[in-house]
Amino acid sequence: MLDMRKENCIFCKIMEGEIPSSTIYEDGDFKVILDINPAAKGHAIILPKEHYENIYELPEELAGKAMVLAKKLAAHMTEKLECDGFNLIQNNGEIAGQTVFHFHLHLIPRYQDGNNKDLLTWNVLQYQEGETDKLAELLKID
């Protein structure tokens, strides 16, 4: 029995074959499809077969497997597409740019002559004196 989120989730529908997709890889845990609105030629997304909304919900084991798969696909896609670089992007929450609330990892080939040179540029902040020490203290983790 599907829960509400799953019923309204585009990626769950893709997983169930209700919405067509161009699949480049599939195993027991993941499906990797071409993004319908690519930032660059070959832009793909790794989707866990189970519905997890974001990185916070994703089980550690699947997070590890997703990164191993991303590494494998980055090498494979770079060879096949002959791209010049590669971005892994993963958005969590609306403010972070997430539009589909089913965890996914973007695989974005980058081309020297591509049309999205500033895909990942941001305005930088300035820290006040002592602020980095306080932040590092706050964020320390064993």
Which of Zn ion, ligand 5GP, none is residue 29 near (CB under 5 to 8 Å by kind)?
none
Binding to ligand 5GP in span 40-99, by CB under 6 A: 45, 91, 97-99
- The smaller minimum CB distance to Zn ion, of residues 31 and 102, is found at 102
What tokens were used for 67? Answer: 């990164």
User: What three-state secondary structure class fits 114?
Assistant: coil
Q: Are 17 and 26 in contact (CB under 8 A)?
A: no
Does the active-site annotation cover 51? no
Amino acid at 5: R
The residues, ordered by sequence, that sit 6+ positions from 10 with a Cβ below 8 Å of its Cβ are 19, 100, 102
- The smaller minimum CB distance to ligand 5GP, of residues 46 and 69, is found at 46
End-to-end Cα distance, the chain? 39
User: What three-state secondary structure class fits 123?
Assistant: coil
The C-alpha atoms of residue 85 and residue 14 are separated, in whole angstroms, by 28
Q: Which stretch binds Zn ion (CB under 5 A): 9-17, 29-37, 66-74, 132-140?
A: 9-17
User: Binding Zn ion by CB under 5 A: which of 33, 40, 43, 51?
Assistant: 51
User: Binding ligand 5GP by CB under 6 A: which of 12, 21, 66, 70?
Assistant: 21
Q: Which residues bind Zn ion (CB under 5 A)?
A: 9, 11-12, 51, 102
The catalytic site residues sit at: 104
Q: Which residues bind ligand 5GP (CB under 6 A)?
A: 10, 19, 21, 33-37, 45, 91, 97-100
